[in-house]
Amino acid sequence: MKQRMEFFLTVITISVLAMTFGSACNKHEVAGKELVSFYEVPLACGAAPDIGCGSRAKPVFLELENHENIKEAWLNRAGTVIAVVGGSSMTDGKELAAFVESVFKKYDVEAIYVVDKNRREELMSDFRAEGKWYKGVDVDKLSLEEAGLLAEKAVKFARDAKLVDEQEAAAIGFDVNDYLKKDLVKVRTCDELCASEEERHDKVYDIYMNHIGKLRAEKVRRMYEELQSNARQND
């Protein structure tokens, strides 16, 4: 009888401890949950559509993360989703959404809040995964990648048309890439970024001219403009 009583007391003690510990864990889990909002956005690079445009996202993220109640802002690699994480004091989703949406509007970012539960779960499944999401100014990594893609694009057509040889293309591509890596990480609004496009074209032309002279650089410019015109007509 005594042994049976001790057994029951042991079971009860273990059960109480388990309930107490479990309750503490659950409380910690709830307190540790983050307020994460996802927004569908059209921020894929026009010239490199497989990756997000770090230049467009950067000023948005700088303003978002400067807010005392926002902990983090992330862009997925494709540039199709922005995730905003509220700070520890942010418990009201409506309050967070009001500020976030005002920033999107300021920087001309068309954003749609993700309501669908399945879509949110899908996004949460790899949220913050390295190489799939870029936090804050880490979007510069996308800009640097874009610079390399644009540099290759800037010399490929001229190399394929035999307007430059392999050695010249490599040297020109290196200088274009070096220039774009510095240019694309600048903090600019959408309007400023678009307005600077002509400046970038002129700079690439100058790089060509420095390597192959004005006469040949003009041939490259004319071919580029012809290719652009044909592309617009086919769209």
What pLDDT, on the 0 to 100 scale, is given for residue 60?
Answer: 97
Tens of pLDDT along 41-53? 999 998 888 999 9
pLDDT of residue 89: 65
| Rounded mean pLDDT, 189-205 | 91
Q: Residue 35 — very low, low, confident or very high, per pLDDT cuts 50/70/90?
A: confident
- Position 8 pLDDT exceeds 90: no
**CATH 3.30.70.100 boundaries in the chain:** 34-138
Residue whose structure tokens are 């580029």: 224
Task: Give residue 190's pLDDT.
Answer: 86
pLDDT greater than 80 at residue 27: no
Residue 235 is predicted with a pLDDT of 67
Reported as a single tens digit per residue, the pLDDT across 112-138 is 999 999 999 999 999 999 999 999 999
The Cα–Cα gap between 161 and 221 comes to 13
pLDDT value of position 233: 83
Q: Which of 73, 87, 86 is nearest to 41 (CA)?
A: 73
Q: For 68-103, what is each residue's pLDDT tens digit?
A: 889 999 999 999 999 999 876 656 667 778 889 999
Q: Which of 2-6, 95-99, 155-159 has the highest mean pLDDT?
A: 155-159
Full 3-state SS string of the chain = CHHHHHHHHHHHHHHHHHHHHHHHHHHHHHHHCCCEEEEECCCECCCCCCCECHHHHHHHHHHHHCCCCEEEEEEECCCCEEEEEECCCCCCHHHHHHHHHHHHHHCCCCCEECCCHHHHHHHHCCCCCECCEEEHHHHHHHHHHHHHHHHHHHHHHHHHCCCCCHHHHHHHHHHHHHHHHHHCCCCCCHHHHHHCHHHHHHHHHHHHHHHHHHHHHHHHHHHHHHHHHHHHHHC
Round the average pLDDT of the chain to a whole number and report it: 85
pTM: 0.80
Q: Please, what CATH class does the domain formed by 34-138 belong to? A: alpha beta
pLDDT at 46: 83
